[in-house]
Amino acid sequence: MVEIRLKNSKSRRVEVLDPIIPGKVSMYLCGPTVYDRAHLGNARSAVAFDQLFRLLRHVYGAENVTFVRNFTDVDDKINARAAETGREISDITAETTQWYLDDMGALGVMEPTHMPRATAYIAEMVSFIEDLIARDHAYARDGHVLFRVRSFAEYGKLSGRSVDDMIAGARVEVAPYKEDPMDFVLWKPSADDIPGWDSPWGRGRPGWHIECSAMSHAILGEEFDIHAGGSDLLFPHHENEVAQSCAAGHAFARIWLHNEMLQVEGKKMSKSLGNFFTVRDLLDQGVPGGVIRFVLLGTHYGKPMDWTEKKREEAEKTLRKWYDAARPGGAVPEAVVAALADDLNTHAALAEIHRLGGADLGAALSLMGLWDGTVPDWATAFDVDLSAFEDRLRAARVTAMQSKDFSEVDALKTALLGAGVEVRMTKENVELLPGPDFDPAKLEDL
Ligand SMILES: [Zn+2]
């Protein structure tokens, strides 16, 4: 079996994936809070760990991988959106959940094995919290339940922070119901006009962190192989998940993976800078989902990435070429799997794919979530086989090297450039790529 190595945020080392149950892998990814469209940064996390899901299925067999990605459908941001718009909360969450599935589907993100909604696991959260209170790791006060951070000696280990530094560095306003400023909310009271559930502490709703501890436990058990999420979740969300689960006596996640953040043209994506894109914005502008996925996979998940117009153009050209050359029925070449198994090095995997053609290319593209066996409409807008021209140009160059007469080569190049084809000539190779202004009619007389 292929050995998969992953950089564990917990140990800060690259470790071999050694599943708890041999031959079976379990993974949990923190999913979206459903009140708005997913933006490009959200998509990065979904695509990166979809790629890991695909690799795991390839290596272990589809039936041996259990992947859980939750929907946070109880949250104050959702309540605020309902208050702003006068809409029902359930309408907002149902609509946004479907948007997320549609938009991620357009990026080739497969549906995980389980997609639990937080509101379907309130009973599990309540009993999880009761257990923490029984163990003295949590306390109830004024309708709230708080996690007693000082009771958990390992707090801060995952994110590499000490509790004292966190208190010194943060100007935490101490709520009257907190024993300690670091304590975080497991349960809070709900006013009549916002969602609430009956509990031993009165009508209320869960804090955000508890849902992932309760749902991963309910579906995957006390210990599972991989927990993933964006680096923005490392603290406090993941630190708090660890505190809750481990304080409840669970071993919890063995390997933690965090994807780095995304920028646009070198700047932080923000609404005020006018460079904020939702996935839907890009799809509506005509950027194909496969192109978005390609660009996202072009940077290793553990490195900050920059979304640029140039990368988008390059991705589109490359995919057009690949779709033209790909054939079904192949097996994924080992080098591609090896690149992915090396801490999900998608950048290196794409570089390997550049060498492939035919059925090998088709199989590799399928594993990357970039091909379902049919050429997407956007890539067939023109259907011209440039490889014949590549052959002609190569042959003309060989002749010209002997005769020292390059007029034929130059004439071909000029005609190709005139038709909007990008001509790349290296010592070893000739490569033709249709550019955005490609006009196949101009090649007919050649
Ligand atoms: Zn989570």
SS (H, E, C) 387-423: HHHHHHHHHHHHHHHHHCCCHHHHHHHHHHHHCCEEE
Distance (angstroms) between ligand 1 centre and the Cα of 437 equals 45
Distance (angstroms) between ligand 1 centre and the Cα of 237 equals 6
**Any domain includes 167:** yes
Average pLDDT over residues 390-406: 92
How do residues 228-279 score in pLDDT, each as one tens digit? Answer: 999 999 999 999 999 999 999 999 999 999 999 999 999 998 888 888 899 9
Structure confidence at residue 171 as a pLDDT band (50, 70, 90): low
Domain that holds residue 419: 387-443
Distance (angstroms) between ligand 1 centre and the Cα of 112 equals 15
Answer whether residue 382 shows pLDDT above 60.
no
Concatenated DSSP letters of 68-96: EE-BB---HHHHHHHHHHT--HHHHHHHH
* Per-residue confidence (pLDDT) for residue 83, from 0 to 100: 92
Domain end: 332, 363, 380, which one?
A: 380
* Per-residue confidence (pLDDT) for residue 229, from 0 to 100: 98
* Per-residue confidence (pLDDT) for residue 196, from 0 to 100: 96
Pick from 113-122, 175-184, 336-345, 379-388: least confident: 379-388
Q: Considering its fold, how many domains does the chain have in total?
A: 3
Distance (angstroms) between ligand 1 centre and the Cα of 75 equals 13
**Any domain includes 306:** yes
Distance (angstroms) between ligand 1 centre and the Cα of 379 equals 37
Distance (angstroms) between ligand 1 centre and the Cα of 28 equals 8
Per the CB < 8 A criterion, the answer to whether 108 and 292 are in contact is no
Distance (angstroms) between ligand 1 centre and the Cα of 305 equals 22
Answer whether residue 174 shows pLDDT above 80.
no
| Pair 374, 394 in one domain | no
* Per-residue confidence (pLDDT) for residue 7, from 0 to 100: 98
| Pair 177, 35 in one domain | yes
Encoded tokens for 203: 């009508």
Distance (angstroms) between ligand 1 centre and the Cα of 210 equals 8
| Pair 211, 121 in one domain | yes
| Pair 127, 223 in one domain | yes
Distance (angstroms) between ligand 1 centre and the Cα of 45 equals 13
Q: Which of residues 151 and 167 earns the better pLDDT score? A: 151
Q: How far apart are alpha carbons 56 and 47 in whole angstroms?
A: 14
Distance (angstroms) between ligand 1 centre and the Cα of 209 equals 6
Domain end: 206, 225, 259, which one?
A: 259
Distance (angstroms) between ligand 1 centre and the Cα of 257 equals 12
Distance (angstroms) between ligand 1 centre and the Cα of 212 equals 5
How do residues 46-99 score in pLDDT, each as one tens digit? Answer: 999 999 999 999 999 999 999 999 999 999 999 999 999 999 999 999 999 999
| Pair 371, 394 in one domain | no
Distance (angstroms) between ligand 1 centre and the Cα of 275 equals 27
237, 183, 226: which is closest to 75 by C-alpha?
237
**Any domain includes 186:** yes
Question: Which residue type does 64 have?
Answer: N
Distance (angstroms) between ligand 1 centre and the Cα of 236 equals 10
State phi, psi for 288 to the nearest 5 degrees.
-65, 145
Grouping H, G, I as helix, E, B as strand and the rest as coil, residue 176 is coil
Distance (angstroms) between ligand 1 centre and the Cα of 125 equals 13
* Per-residue confidence (pLDDT) for residue 172, from 0 to 100: 60
Distance (angstroms) between ligand 1 centre and the Cα of 246 equals 15
**Any domain includes 131:** yes
Distance (angstroms) between ligand 1 centre and the Cα of 287 equals 30
pLDDT averaged over the chain? 94
Answer whether residue 121 shows pLDDT above 80.
yes
Distance (angstroms) between ligand 1 centre and the Cα of 250 equals 16
124, 125, 119, 121: which is closest to 89 by C-alpha?
119
Distance (angstroms) between ligand 1 centre and the Cα of 245 equals 12
CATH number reported for the structural domain that contains residue 99 in this entry? 3.40.50.620
Distance (angstroms) between ligand 1 centre and the Cα of 241 equals 7
Distance (angstroms) between ligand 1 centre and the Cα of 238 equals 6
Concatenated DSSP letters of 238-298: IHHHHHHHHHTT--EEEEEEEE--EEETTEE--GGGT---BHHHHHHTT--HHHHHHHHHT
Structure confidence at residue 139 as a pLDDT band (50, 70, 90): very high
| Pair 438, 351 in one domain | no
| Pair 115, 60 in one domain | yes
pLDDT > 90 in the chain, percent: 82
Q: Which of residues 271 and 116 earns the better pLDDT score? A: 116
| Pair 397, 303 in one domain | no
Distance (angstroms) between ligand 1 centre and the Cα of 261 equals 17
Distance (angstroms) between ligand 1 centre and the Cα of 36 equals 18
**Any domain includes 264:** no
Distance (angstroms) between ligand 1 centre and the Cα of 286 equals 32
**Any domain includes 265:** no
Answer whether residue 383 shows pLDDT above 60.
no
Q: How far apart are alpha carbons 188 and 143 in whole angstroms?
A: 6
Q: Which residues contact 272 (CB under 8 A, 6 or more apart)?
A: none
**Cβ atoms within 10 Å of 440's Cβ, excluding its own:** 16
| Pair 361, 417 in one domain | no
Structure confidence at residue 170 as a pLDDT band (50, 70, 90): low
Bridge pairing between strands 223-230 and 25-29: parallel
Pick from 180-194, 305-319, 373-387: least confident: 373-387
Distance (angstroms) between ligand 1 centre and the Cα of 355 equals 39
Average pLDDT over residues 109-128: 98
Q: Which residues contact 330 (CB under 8 A, 6 or more apart)?
A: 358, 359, 360, 361, 362, 363, 364
Domain end: 210, 233, 259, which one?
A: 259
Measured CA to CA in angstroms, residue 443 lies from 16, 317, 390, 397, 431 at distances of 52, 18, 13, 19, 16
The alpha carbon of 153 is separated from its chain's Cα centroid by a whole number of angstroms, namely 32
Distance (angstroms) between ligand 1 centre and the Cα of 432 equals 46
Half-sphere exposure in the Cβ direction for 53 (13 Å, CA): 24
Distance (angstroms) between ligand 1 centre and the Cα of 39 equals 18
Per the CB < 8 A criterion, the answer to whether 41 and 268 are in contact is no
Whether the bond between 236 and the residue before it is cis, its omega within 30 degrees of 0, is yes
Identify the bridge partners of residue 285 per DSSP, sorted by sequence position: none
Average pLDDT over residues 358-384: 88
| Pair 56, 165 in one domain | yes
Q: Which of residues 152 and 431 earns the better pLDDT score? A: 152
Distance (angstroms) between ligand 1 centre and the Cα of 211 equals 7
| Pair 344, 400 in one domain | no
Distance (angstroms) between ligand 1 centre and the Cα of 29 equals 7
* Per-residue confidence (pLDDT) for residue 381, from 0 to 100: 62
* Per-residue confidence (pLDDT) for residue 168, from 0 to 100: 72
**Any domain includes 394:** yes
**Any domain includes 227:** yes
| Pair 142, 53 in one domain | yes
* Per-residue confidence (pLDDT) for residue 157, from 0 to 100: 95
Distance (angstroms) between ligand 1 centre and the Cα of 144 equals 21
